[in-house]
Amino acid sequence: MKDYFIGEEEFFPGIGKIGYEGPKSDNPLAFKFYDPQKKVGGKTMAEHLRFSIAYWHSFCAKGSDPFGNETMVFPWSDPDPMIAARKKADAAFEFTTKLGAEYYCFHDIDAAPDASSVTEYERNYFAVAEMLKSLQNETGVKLLWNTSNMFSHPRYMNGAASNPEFSILARAAAQVKASLDVNVLLGGQNYVFWGGREGYMSLLNTRMKQEQDHIARFFMLARDYGRKIGFTGPFLIEPKPMEPSKHQYDYDAATAIGFLRNYGLDKDFKCNIENNHATLAGHTFAHDLQVCADAGMLGSVDANEGDAQNGWDTDEFPTNVYDSVEAMMVILKMGGFTTGGLNFDAKLRRNSTDREDLFIAHIGGMDTFALALEIADRIISDGKLDTMVANRYRSYESGKGAEFEAGKLTLADLRDIAASQPEPALVSGKQEMIKNLINQYIFG
Ligand code: XUL
Ligand code: CO
C-alpha cells in the first residue's frame, strides 16, 4: 500500500491501486471497462483518454450549496494554510496515483493559499509549485493544465479582464502571470481561461465592446508572456453561456471561436469544451466538440454531465454512454487529443460522503469513456454510418454539384439547372435507422 501514497499520512486508507477486473466484476473499486494498456485502433486506452483529476472539486469543495453547509470532512484540512496545501497535494497525488489517472488540473488558489498582497500570493504559489513538482517527479503524474481563479474573490464581482475598473484587470494579470510561471515550472500541457465573470449582469451598465476589447488585449499579453517564458502549449478558452454571470462572452464554442478569430488569437488559442456548459447553451456535448473540431480548435475536454431536468451546472460524473459515444466519435475522427485530455470537472453529490465515493465516481466516469471509446472505434472502423452519411452528400461528388463546390457556378447557373430539372425527389435523412444502428453497436 505504501507504494501508492506519498506523504506522511495516508488519506484514503484501505483503498489500494484500482485495477481492471472486467465487466463481470462486482467490486465497486475496480474498473469494468477501462483497461489502460488495452489497444484500441493502434493506441492504448490510456493514450487515447488521458484522464485528469480536477483539484477543485475533488480536494477543495466540501459540499456546501446556497441552502446548506459543508457536508464533507477532509482529513487533509489544517488550520495552517501552508500545511493544508501540503496535505491537500499529498491527498491529490495519493488519489490520482491509486486511481491510475495520468494528469491533474488546478486553479492557483485551489493549490496554494490566496493572499491579497500580490507578493505574498506569489510566495505561497511558488512554494506550493515546488511541492507539486516533487510530487510529479515521484509519481509520474503530469499537469494537464492550470488556470487562475478570477471569479471567487469579491474584487472580481464585476469581472476580471472585463472589469470596468483598471486596477482589478491589473490584479487579475498578476494571477495569470504567476500561473504561467508555475505552468512552465510544472511542464503543463495547456493553459486554461474560464471567464465565469467575464460577461455582464445588466447590459444597462455595460459597454460590451470595450469589455471584449480588454479581454482580447489581456489574452494577447498572456500569450506574449507565455511564449517568452517557454510555454509552447495551447491556451484554451472554456465556453459557458451563463452562471455565475447572466451572460458570459464565451457563450459557446462558436462564439468563442468567432471572438478568437476576430482578434487574431486563433493560432495560439483553442477551446476546452465542457459537456454541462454546452448543454446550458442549448447544444449537445457533441455539437460543441464538432464546432471546435471543424475549426481545428478542439484542445481539451472537461468531462462531466448535467441533469436534463435542471437548468444549471450540476457537474455530475459522466455515466451517459450515448453522449460519450458521440463525443468520442468526434475526438477519434479529429485524430485524438494532442495536448488535451479528459479532465473530470465533476463533483460528488453533497450527500455522497464516504471517502470511497470519490473513487467510485471517477471509476464510473473512466469506465463510461472507455466503453464509449471502444464503441466509437467500432462505429468508425465498421464504416456503415460513414457510408450512410456519405450517401447523403453524394450529389456533390461529381457533375454540377462538384462544380458548385469548386466555385465554378454562378447563381444564374444554379437557376438554369433548377429550371431544366423536374421537382427534386424527396430524400430520407434516415435518422431513425441511424439511431437503431447506434443501439446495435452499443448493446449488440
Ligand atoms: C466552471 C468550470 C471551471 C473551469 C475552470 O463551470 O467549469 O471549473 O473548468 O475554471
Ligand atoms: Co470546467
Residues 153 and 196 in one domain: yes
Per-residue pLDDT reduced to its tens digit, 140-194: 999 999 999 999 999 999 999 999 999 999 999 999 999 999 999 999 999 999 9
**CB of 315 closer than 6 A to ligand 1?**
no
- Establish if 203 belongs to a structural domain: yes
- Establish if 4 belongs to a structural domain: no
Tell me the pLDDT band of 8, cut-offs 50, 70 and 90: confident
Q: Hey, is 80 helix, strand or coil?
A: coil
DSSP run (H or E) holding 88: helix 81-99
Residues 120 and 31 in one domain: yes
Residues 390 and 283 in one domain: no
**CB of 198 closer than 6 A to ligand 1?**
no
**CB of 323 closer than 6 A to ligand 1?**
no
Residue 406, pLDDT > 90, answer yes
Q: What is the CATH number of the domain that holds 118?
A: 3.20.20.150
Residue with CA at minimum distance from ligand 1 atom 7: 345
Of the residues 382, 399, 422, the one at which a domain ends = 382
Residues 378 and 411 in one domain: no
**Cα dihedral 399, 404, 410, 412 in deg (nearest 10):** 60
Residues 361 and 403 in one domain: no
What's the 3-state SS for 1-26?
A: CHHHCCCCCCCCCCCCCCEECCCCCC
Residues 425 and 281 in one domain: no
Residues 392 and 377 in one domain: no
- Establish if 24 belongs to a structural domain: yes
Q: Which of 194, 243, 305 to mutate to test the pocket of ligand 1 (most atoms within 8 A of CB)?
A: 194
Residues 352 and 421 in one domain: no
Percent of the chain with pLDDT over 90: 98
Structurally, the chain folds into a number of domains equal to 2
**CB of 302 closer than 6 A to ligand 1?**
yes
Residue with CA at minimum distance from ligand 1 atom 4: 194
Residues 199 and 266 in one domain: yes
Cell (9 digits) for 249:
462572452
CA–CA gap between residue 100 and residue 275 (Å, rounded): 23
- Establish if 345 belongs to a structural domain: yes
| Phi-psi group of 127: left, alpha or beta (phi > 0 → left; psi -120 to 50 → alpha; rest → beta) | alpha
Distance 345 CA to ligand 2 centre (A): 5
* Active site amino acids: 107, 110
- Establish if 241 belongs to a structural domain: yes
Distance 82 CA to ligand 2 centre (A): 26
- Establish if 221 belongs to a structural domain: yes
Of the residues 367, 382, 397, the one at which a domain ends = 382
What backbone phi and psi angles, to 5 degrees, belong to 122?
A: -65, -40
Distance 371 CA to ligand 2 centre (A): 22
Structural domain including 421 reads 385-443
The predicted model gives 51-64 an average pLDDT of: 98
The predicted model gives 27-45 an average pLDDT of: 98
Distance 194 CA to ligand 1 centre (A): 6
Q: Which of 153, 179, 302, 342 to mutate to test the pocket of ligand 1 (most atoms within 8 A of CB)?
A: 302
Residues 401 and 363 in one domain: no
The pLDDT assigned to 6 comes to 66
Cell (9 digits) for 58:
475533488
Of the residues 357, 382, 407, the one at which a domain ends = 382
Global confidence as pTM = 0.97
**CB of 96 closer than 6 A to ligand 1?**
no
Tell me the pLDDT band of 2, cut-offs 50, 70 and 90: very low
Per the CB < 8 A criterion, the answer to whether 258 and 284 are in contact is: no
The pLDDT assigned to 7 comes to 72
Residue 4, pLDDT > 60, answer no
Average confidence score pLDDT of the chain? 97
Of all atoms in ligand 1, which is nearest to the CA of residue 272?
A: 9
Residues 291 and 357 in one domain: yes
The pLDDT assigned to 1 comes to 34
Tell me the pLDDT band of 132, cut-offs 50, 70 and 90: very high
**CB of 274 closer than 6 A to ligand 1?**
yes
Distance 342 CA to ligand 1 centre (A): 13
Cell (9 digits) for 200:
455582464
- Establish if 5 belongs to a structural domain: no
Residues 287 and 273 in one domain: yes
| Phi-psi group of 296: left, alpha or beta (phi > 0 → left; psi -120 to 50 → alpha; rest → beta) | left
Between the alpha carbon of residue 87 and those of residues 26, 74, 135, 163, 440, the distances in Å are: 32, 10, 12, 35, 48
Residue with CA at minimum distance from ligand 1 atom 3: 194
- Establish if 1 belongs to a structural domain: no
Tell me the pLDDT band of 5, cut-offs 50, 70 and 90: low
Per-residue pLDDT reduced to its tens digit, 71-118: 999 999 999 999 999 999 999 999 999 999 999 999 999 999 999 999
What backbone phi and psi angles, to 5 degrees, belong to 347?
A: -130, 155
CA–CA gap between residue 78 and residue 322 (Å, rounded): 42
The pLDDT assigned to 282 comes to 97
Strand partners, 199: 248
Per-residue pLDDT reduced to its tens digit, 259-315: 999 999 999 999 999 999 999 999 999 999 999 999 999 999 999 999 999 989 999
**CB of 110 closer than 6 A to ligand 1?**
no
The pLDDT assigned to 36 comes to 98
